[in-house]
Amino acid sequence: MHDDRTLVEARLKRVLDERIRPAVYPESVPLDVAVWHAPGEPVPVAEGLAAAPEPIEVGARWGAPWGTSWFCVTGTVPEAWAGRTVEALLDLGFDENMPGFQCEGLVYRPDGTPVKGLNPRNQWVRIGAPVEGGEQVRLHIEAASNPVILDYHPFLPTQLGDKETAGSAPQYRLERMDLAVFDETVWQLVIDLEVLGELMAELPVESARRWDILRAVERALDAVDLQDVGGTAAAARALLAEVLSVPAVPSAHRISAVGHAHIDSAWLWPLRETVRKVARTTSNMTALIEDEPDFVFAMSQAQQWAWVKEHRPEVWARVKKAVTDGRFVPAGGMWVESDTNMPGSEAMARQFVHGKRFFLDEFGIENDEAWLPDTFGFAAGLPQIVKAAGSKWLLTQKISWSQTNRFPHHTFQWEGIDGTRIFTHFPPVDTYNCSMKGSEIAHAARNFKDKGVARHSLAPTGWGDGGGGTTREMIAKAGRLRDLEGSATVVWETPERFFEKAEAEYPNAPVWVGELYLELHRATLTSQAKTKQGNRRSEHLLREAELWAATATVRTGFPYPYEELDRIWKTVLLHQFHDILPGSSIAWVHREARRTYEKVAEELDGIIDAAQRALAGEGSAALLFNSAPHRREGVPAGGAGTPLVEGEAALAPRVNGGYVLDNGLLRIEIDARGLVVSAYDLGVGRETVAPGQAANLLQIHPDFPNMWDAWDVDEFYRNTVTDLVDADEIVPGEDGASVRIVRSFGASRVTQVLSLAPGERRLGIDTEVDWHETEKFLKLAFPLDVHADRYASETQFGHFYRPTHTNTSWEAAKFEACNHRFVHIEEPGWGVALVNDSTYGHDVTRTVRDTDSGTTTTVRVSLLRAPRFPDPETDQGVHRFRHALVPGAAIGDAVREGWRINLPQRRVTGSREVAPLVTVDQDAVVVTAVKLADDGSGDVVVRFHESHGGRTRAALTAGFEIAAVTVTDLLERPLAGAAAPLRDGDRVTVPLRPFELVTLRLKRA
């Protein structure tokens, strides 16, 4: 037989595009349309429905950026359509390639009942099936004219990302507002042909199955009368029935489809718009659930559920019913799909506490899975947190975006820093927006790396990022793929059912140890510095507020601010969403975040001040309140007392210019350029700075990545560097032993204060940058005379080691990485720590010197970037950073100094010292939280972990009489299987393995 394959395939495409798809709606009549443009921010539904609209014609422009327009469409069903299926086709000016990224709408009935959402892939509203002739139609559309930020030419700077700069030009043209007859048979024929055509394209040309499909498609096309598609569609479908009924082979890959609409809680739209995106999507998904008996939809992010409950009670009622029916599934058990690299230990724990508690309180449902399809890599401390929250599985897709190395598994056990393992799955479909295309299903089957030992994978199915969710077309395709030769099999299932099957079939899954590093989006550790500073400051203020409020409640009867702390925690957790904290959202989002963090700080400072004053009492004695987990200036951790300062520090001129700082422990030499050329550990006679090098060196690079400006820094940025060595001014500082250095470069200015405190083995570095560069990357470098093939960086509840070398492509790809409060580099017996109060990105490199063959290990802190997309004014303005260089530091010193710089001293006048509420006898054991139990019982909850990476036995002593001690999970529930701790009165002894996390609940007598 002659090969006419391409001829038939081309015929299929044209006939579908030009004849069959248009015949889905064979008859239509226009609707009358009127519109009212809300003058400012979105208005309540009742106000929008009651407004007086004015007529508007199809073809007219509408919608200022970020505006809201209320359309009213009215019409009458023609008498001739009686008994047929009729839908309203409501096209606001959609581009079908941009679901979730442009205008959207939510349709209401006149009584305010929400019907369904409108988006580029979901433009229909069912009027009746069948309808009555002469039926009156009246619908209202709350239409959001969200501007297109990520356009066909992506990453171009735009002022549309903030309502304050976006202007008022109409963004859209009203395209279609019609009533139309819906031909169900033709629509089903479209799905038949799409499924077979897409499957055919994925099969080998030489396979018999491909040719069977080709001939069946050809016969079906022959049966279609192109002048009467509706009248011949059934006959065409009959000719396809046989090839659509051939079952899959027994070895076919098995896909669990989960209805999904990954909705970014903020990204190219502000938080307030996400509230409406969620309402539109959940309206659509509850409607689909009613129509499709097999369909299951999963939605993560308890915050988004809470928004529906608060802002759309009518939708919430439908959601609750669907949850009760087991069809609308809470997923993930986190407050939002957060970044997991940068949130601190307690914040990461609270993501699960607040997320899981919401689902438990509202539905009695507990999640076993963490659901993070789009998060930009995963910190090595996360497995222990997931398990401590009572969960055991993780799903993500994003690692498939890695540029350099392909991850070797799709299903595996992930082991964290403490040895905890969780069963993890990466969907091989490689998208969290699966649309059931044949190419996607075939890719999942081909791509799955665990063939031969496993055969199940998951496909999150539905339009996402900007929401939208699953469509009826996707469900129809999945129905045909349930058991079809040549394809993987597809069945709608909950995440829980998938994980149960996957874990059961793969009991000896391979193990991946350590962080899941995404070889992409590395610049998110630096972009939008003030958002990151707001997060870090809020985390530590929350620690202080809980600590001092709990102490004051137990000691003085101070009213513990349960509701305030709950609300503030949820606000901070929301802003850890994976496009807010990483700095990859539009200007509007970060402008609001700055204001939110200011309000959070003000409120928490008020709680802290009130609690401390209640504890200190009236008086004039100067008391130091020590919020850090280690003794400071003679004051115990978690206590308050009179500080003790020993020793002194001196400032002297340096020969050849500059200054020398000396406190008997360190001698710091600052040359005439304002650079640190020596940091000498007097105790052991050891130099810190590499020979011939200078530390505290500001360096600037060009920074224009190939794409994803706010997200990415590409390795070639290192090819060009400028050392900022010229100083405008080098003078003694105003406070004690300190030096002030001022530099100018480009349009920017940097002021640094280097200081040495009495009795402390650390060089303080306070940096203020008035930043007005674009597409530049500012680093602060410390070349150290340390020979190390690995270094430690802090992560949640411990630290993680990374190599300093680039032996393999895996190591070379980690040219920008995350740390929390410290980076530590060590030779046996002597090390150096670099601690910070608000930066996360860094790099560590090593070279061998020609002069003495010694090794220079250079640590560089990432301070600022200046990408122009999606926020063209990213980070312009004044920024302040605090760092400290700690020569001679062991890992314990790094931990202690990291906490110290993030919890500055608070001095309060009063009459009485404050004993700690709890004390721990091991310096290696860090208490991360002291609080009252969330249930209002008055029990004291203490969370702590081993921080040095070794085994220990810690004795925790309560500063109050305790009646009982319980080991709990993160949600403060008794931990199943946990051994009862050894108790002697108010003293509790707990053995700890390296980095082990423990939560104790102390019942007060």
CB atoms within 10 A of CB 393: 21
Round to whole Å and give the CA distance between 264 and 657: 54
* Residue with tokens 């939605």, as numbered in its chain: 299
Active-site annotation holds for 374:
yes
Which residue is it, tokens 């560069």?
773
Distances 214 to 2, 5, 197, 561, 804 between C-alpha atoms, Å? 13, 7, 8, 69, 56
Q: Which of 751, 755, 764, 750 is nearest to 735 (CA)?
A: 755
Q: Torsions phi, psi of 368, nearest 5?
A: -100, -10
Largest CA distance in the chain: 102
Using only C-alpha atoms, what is the Rg of the chain? 31
DSSP assigned state of 695:
B
Residue closest to 942 by CA, chosen among 547, 356, 607? 547
Q: Decide: 699 and 572 in contact? Cβ < 8 Å.
A: no
* Side chain identity, residue 498: F
> Torsion over CA of 364, 370, 374 and 379, rounded to 10 degrees?
140
The SS3 of residue 698 is: strand
Residues ≥6 apart with Cβ < 8 Å to 377: 340, 341, 398, 399, 515, 516, 517, 518, 521, 818
767: nearest Cα among 673, 882, 674? 882
Euclidean distance between CA atoms 651 and 740, whole angstroms: 12
820 within 8 A of 840, measured Cβ to Cβ: yes
Pick the closest to residue 766 from 777, 757, 775 (CA basis).
757
Instruction: Of 23, 122, 118, 25, give the one whose Cα is nearest residue 73.
Output: 118
Q: Where are the beta strands (DSSP E) in 48-165?
A: 54-55, 61-62, 67-76, 86-91, 104-108, 114-118, 124-128, 136-145
Distance from C-alpha of 299 to C-alpha of 461, rounded to nearest angstrom:
11
Give the separation between CA 184 and CA 200, rounded to whole angstroms. Answer: 24
- Sign (positive or negative) of CA dihedral 438, 444, 447, 452: negative
Q: E strand or H helix at 732, and its extent?
A: strand 729-732
H-only helix segments in 434-578: 438-447, 472-480, 495-505, 529-556, 562-574
Name the active-site residue from 192, 264, 374, 709.
374
Reduced to 3 states (helix: H, G, I; strand: E, B; else coil), residue 902 is helix
Half-sphere exposure of 665 (CA within 13 A, CB side): 16
H/E run at residue 864:
strand 855-865
Backbone φ, ψ for residue 34 (5° rounding): -135, 160
Task: Report d(CA 349, CA 370) in Å as an integer.
Answer: 12
The SS3 of residue 190 is: helix
Cis peptide before 870 (omega within 30 of 0): yes
CA 849 to mean position of chain CA atoms:
41
Spatial separation of the C-alpha atoms in residues 562 and 525, rounded to whole Å: 32
Any idea which residues carry the catalytic annotation? 374
